Amino acid sequence: MKIDSSRCVDCFNCISSCPKGGLQFKAVSPFKHQETAALKTDEPKVKANESRRAFFAAGATIAASFPFISTLAQRMRHGKKDGKCKGDGCCNGKGKHGNHKHKPNGLPLVPPGAISIERFKDVCTGCQICVTRCPSHVLKPSGLEYGFDYMLKPHMAYIDSYCNYECTVCSEVCPTHAIKPLTKEEKATTQVGVATFCINRCIVNTEGTDCGACSEHCPTQAVHMVPFKGTLTIPEVNPDLCIGCGGCESICPVRPMRAIFVQPNKIQKFVEKPKEEEIKKVEIDDFGF
Ligand code: SF4
Ligand code: SF4
Ligand code: SF4
């Protein structure tokens, strides 16, 4: 049997479905003309999971530095996982201008429709179709975010983009329903995480300047500006309206750690749809505003 590699989407369903354990992954040298997968009927059975693990382990070795870079990049944007509040006003003592949960929980952010992190880890095969089709390029292959055994399964990273409010592309193309099909209405009310605001990083507080970019780019108005000092206004997050789309995080100008970032939910929740007049069409120009 020969496998047409130009049509294979690397979903690996054939490996786990073959009752004889006859299909397995094989690293193929680009310089040798070998078959991309082999059917070995007279060799000992190789369990699908072992074969699959070996395949990823080989890939992991080749990309040894990638997971650490990916994980470090997330820490740079959000701050240290479970970092201690230094009492420096980051949560304003009483969480007045934030939701008092500013310490990154270190969880990966799964796309809307994944339902929960644990379910996604089990069902996703890491075929990367959603990654290549995501128009916003927020879906990225993971490093160590899910753990070593789950490397390359996609997670959402709001580096310079966000999950489009009306987009349901990944839920439409996922062949395994690791991302369940969602209507636009369901997508717009699925909460993948909640934005967390750190007043001690925000330039309105640290530099006494106007900003409000996060509020400008929030499609649900979950983050809105409230009076601060003098004529200045500062962001405040309503977690009941936030869907964790990352509009605020991706536009926040504070570096290296953003003053607002999305804290992932372990299990996705549903929020109420904002009133029509509150929904914003967000377009980012060349300058990010
Ligand atoms: S819903 Fe759309 S923008 Fe969001 S992650 Fe999926 S494909 Fe990307
Ligand atoms: S979520 Fe679906 S489309 Fe994306 S990598 Fe996993 S199985 Fe493939
Ligand atoms: S607060 Fe941020 S993450 Fe939440 S809905 Fe608004 S832009 Fe999206």
Q: Is 52 in the same domain as 190?
A: no
Ligand 2 atom closest to the CA of 153, numbered from 1: 5
Distance between Cα 234 and ligand 1 center (Å):
29
- State which of 11, 116, 129 you would mutate to test the pocket of ligand 2, scoring each by most atoms of that ligand within 8 A of its C-beta: 129
Is position 7 within any domain? Answer: no
Ligand 3 within 6 A of CB of 192:
no
Q: How many CB atoms lie within 10 A of CB 173?
A: 16
Does residue 42 surpass a pLDDT of 80?
no
| Across 15-19, 43-47, 72-76, least confident range | 43-47
Domain region containing 48: 13-62
Is position 229 within any domain? Answer: yes
Q: What ligand is nearest to the CA atom of residue 195?
A: 3
Distance between Cα 71 and ligand 3 center (Å):
22
Does residue 71 surpass a pLDDT of 90?
no
Is position 288 within any domain? Answer: no
pLDDT for the residue numbered 137: 97
Q: Mind listing the pLDDT tens digit for each residue in 159-184?
A: 999 999 999 999 999 999 999 999 99
Number of domains in the chain: 2
Q: Is 238 in the same domain as 270?
A: yes
Tokens of residue 104, six digits: 């990154």
- Give the separation between CA 134 and CA 145, rounded to whole angstroms: 20
Instruction: Kindly provide the ipTM of the predicted complex, given to two decimals.
Output: 0.89
Q: What ligand is nearest to the CA atom of residue 165?
A: 1
